[in-house]
Amino acid sequence: MSDIREKIVTWGEKDREVGAIVYQRAGKHLEGALLNAYRVIDPSLKELPRDVFENEKRKFAFIAKGNFPSEYFDQQEIITTNISNSLDFATYLSKTYAAYAAGLASGLVKEKGWVEKNSDELMLSLMKSVFSDASVVMFYYFQLLNAKADEERAVIEAERRRVADEQDTVVAALADSLKRLAEGDLTAHIAVPFNGRYQQIKDDFNAAIDSLREAMKAIASTTGGLRSASDEIAAASEDLSRRTEQQAAALEETAAALDEITATVKRSAGGAKQASAAASGATADTTRSGEVMHGAMAAMGEIERSSKEIISIIGVIDEIAFQTNLLALNAGVEAARAGDAGRGFAVVAQEVRALAQRSADAAKEIKVLIANSAAQVERGVRLVDDTGHALTGIVSKITEIDALISEIAQSSQEQASGLNEVNTAVNQMDQVTQQNAAMVEEATASASTMRSEAAELEMLVSRFQTGELAHSSARPDTARAGRHSPSRSPVAPAQVKIAS
């Protein structure tokens, strides 16, 4: 803004002469005009203080005569400063200065002569003076306003800088804590002091961090348990899958063996039935053999009796031979007595004697043979009798065997029927076990997936620092873990990594 002193300059000589007249006439009413103007500031004012009136009078002398020295500007600056402390610019112009100008104009009008020709010129001079003075007042008033605005701007700027600095501090602290939080540090409290409304942000952020840390502690603990449980479930599922596969294989082999056993038992049942039929036939044959044996024993008895009769007959023959030999001997004696007449009879007797001797020898040999045959026949009778008794025992035993084989055949039929049912049940169990094995494989795959996801969740949770040492999430005890399979390799215990 350019200086008002360069715009408001001293009037020309003619204008100053007119202004002197205005000063003379309007000056008479200056005090009344000033009193009305100052009453806008203080309605209870009765009269102006003398120093104020003297200053205003000196100022009016300057502006009415069109003389604007530095003293005027200095004085007007002081007056404007004093007024601005009591009134705002609009009230000052519309009320205070308007009352001042109106009072001067009214006084000037009152001093005007009726036939005076230059009255308009005087009024114009007064208005020029007043507006020049108002311009100076406005200038200084605006300077004051600008100064106040500059002060306010400075205050506002200082406040803005303070707020900006405070915001920068808040943002920097928040950014640092959020960066640490993004890196998983759940101990990233804001320690920088915040003022005013930012304190609530700090409290809320720290409270949120505390809540999140407690939640992550619980999640970390739960994740460890989940990892341990998933490891156990996966290991148990693997063991169960392996055992189920073994059981399925065993059941399959058992089913095959039962099929073979069932077929064997069926064949055994058929064989037992055939054996029962054969035993029945053998019993009948043995019975018939016993009957034949009894006939043989009767025949042997007849042979024995016949042998005894032959022996008696041979005894008779032997006796006849002895008598014949004796007669031949007697005939020979008689022939010898007869001499030549009995010589032919002697020869005959000799031949008869020889024949009798041979008959006796033959009868003796036959007797020996018959005796031997009798002994053999007797022995054969005894053997046949023993055979008969043995055959009777055999018939009895075969009858018992037939009954036992019949029972065995019936039992074999029942066993075959029962094994057939067992075989059907085992085949169904085999199918169910195969289905269970498939389901266990799916469960094992799901458990493995859950273990992988639990490990990934544990890894994600381990990124967060909660300010506490990590707790081991090992399995509750190795004994319980060992229940599943003694040969199972131990799984490394899940451990949540929580930095201190």
In a domain, 483, yes or no: no
CA distance 234 to 141: 89
Task: Provide φ and ψ at 488, rounded to 5°.
Answer: -75, 140
User: Residue 475: its pLDDT value, please?
Assistant: 46
pLDDT in tens, 206-235: 898 888 888 888 887 787 777 788 788 778
3-state SS assignment for residue 87:
coil
User: Residue 415: its pLDDT value, please?
Assistant: 78
Lowest mean per-residue pLDDT among 97-101, 154-158, 285-289: 285-289
User: Residue 491: its pLDDT value, please?
Assistant: 40
In a domain, 329, yes or no: yes
User: Any idea what DSSP says for residue 494?
Assistant: E
In a domain, 428, yes or no: yes
Q: Mean pLDDT of all residues in the chain?
A: 79
Judged against a pLDDT cut of 50, whether residue 127 lies above it is answered with: yes
User: Residue 477: its pLDDT value, please?
Assistant: 47
| One domain, residues 160 and 264 | no
In DSSP terms, 465 is beta-bridged to 185
| Count of domains forming the chain | 2
Give the domain CATH number at 353.
Answer: 1.10.287.950
pTM (2 d.p.): 0.39
pLDDT in tens, 43-77: 898 888 898 888 888 888 888 888 888 888 888 88
Confidence of residue 478 (pLDDT cuts 50, 70, 90): very low
User: Residue 468: its pLDDT value, please?
Assistant: 67
Q: What is the CA radius of gyration of the chain?
A: 80
User: Residue 1: its pLDDT value, please?
Assistant: 55
User: Residue 115: its pLDDT value, please?
Assistant: 52
Q: Choose the final residue of a domain: 164, 180, 201.
A: 164
| One domain, residues 145 and 266 | no
pLDDT in tens, 369-428: 877 877 887 787 778 778 777 777 877 887 787 787 778 778 777 877 887 787 788 788
User: Residue 59: its pLDDT value, please?
Assistant: 87
| One domain, residues 147 and 278 | no
CA distance 359 to 457: 131
In a domain, 474, yes or no: no
Mean pLDDT across the stretch 23-28? 86
Residues contacting 294, CB < 8 A, separation 6+:
388
pLDDT in tens, 137-192: 888 888 888 888 888 888 888 888 887 887 888 888 888 888 888 888 888 788 88
Judged against a pLDDT cut of 50, whether residue 472 lies above it is answered with: no
3-state SS assignment for residue 46:
coil
Residues contacting 391, CB < 8 A, separation 6+:
286, 289, 290, 293
In a domain, 298, yes or no: yes
Domain that holds residue 330: 250-457
Q: Choose the final residue of a domain: 145, 164, 183.
A: 164
User: Residue 85: its pLDDT value, please?
Assistant: 79
Give the domain CATH number at 158.
Answer: 1.10.490
Residue linked to tokens 């008598």: 323
Residues contacting 196, CB < 8 A, separation 6+:
none
Mean pLDDT across the stretch 342-367? 81
Mean pLDDT across the stretch 23-44? 86
| One domain, residues 148 and 255 | no
What are the distances in angstroms from CA 443 to CA 264, 392, 439, 491? 40, 72, 6, 18
Residue 179 has a CB neighbour count (10 Å cut-off) of 11
User: Residue 139: its pLDDT value, please?
Assistant: 87
In a domain, 190, yes or no: no
Q: Choose the final residue of a domain: 141, 164, 187.
A: 164
In a domain, 188, yes or no: no
Mean pLDDT across the stretch 305-313? 78
Confidence of residue 482 (pLDDT cuts 50, 70, 90): very low
In a domain, 394, yes or no: yes
| One domain, residues 127 and 259 | no
pLDDT in tens, 251-277: 778 878 877 877 887 787 787 778 778
| One domain, residues 148 and 16 | yes
User: Residue 116: its pLDDT value, please?
Assistant: 62
3-state SS assignment for residue 130:
helix
Of residues 479 and 173, which shows the higher confidence score? 173
